Amino acid sequence: MKLKYARSGGWKGEENKVLSRNDALKLIYGLYSGDSGIFVIAGVGIDEEFNYVKRLARDSSKEIYIFQPDEKTAMRLRNLLKNYDNVQIIEDYTFNCGKYLLRSSVERFYALNIVNWKPQRFLTLLKNILDSVSESGKLVISF
């Protein structure tokens, strides 16, 4: 399915049907779920997205970094993912990812609905994300 454009409440596809958030997440997290390497996921909360992240974490060939600036949510994520040695919760904003990630090291970067956190740092956010993604890496981003 081709996603034409984003719209409040979901995405509109070829048949003008709006996808639910969960349907969109299923498509997005299904894109590269079989790959291995370093995965970065920005702003995961305890919602539908968490289950997709947990599914990725079950594969030990993936090293997963989750950026979550909210202290309470980060603590809950640590508790829920404590059995996964391949997951690190970073309690910082995604625009600071350059402090934590090596240059050109990330294979998959999921940055969904992150701009509303600190929109005044948009250029820093894009620069640090792009610097961290490897030459063959993929960035999935939504605003």
Given this model, what pLDDT does residue 28 score?
A: 86
Are the CB atoms for 129 and 111 separated by under 8 Å?
yes
CA–CA gap between residue 31 and residue 35 (Å, rounded): 9
From the list 86, 85, 88, the residue with the least C-alpha distance to 63 is 86
Alpha-carbon gap, residue 108 to 35, rounded angstroms: 9
Give the integer Cα–Cα distance in Å for 3 and 13.
5
Determine the pLDDT at residue 121.
78
pLDDT at res. 6:
47
pLDDT of amino acid 97 = 95
pLDDT at position 24: 81
**Quick one: tokens of 125?**
């956010």
Give me the average pLDDT of each 10-residue run along the chain (143 residues): 46 60 83 90 86 93 95 94 96 94 96 66 89 94 78
How much is the pTM? Answer: 0.82
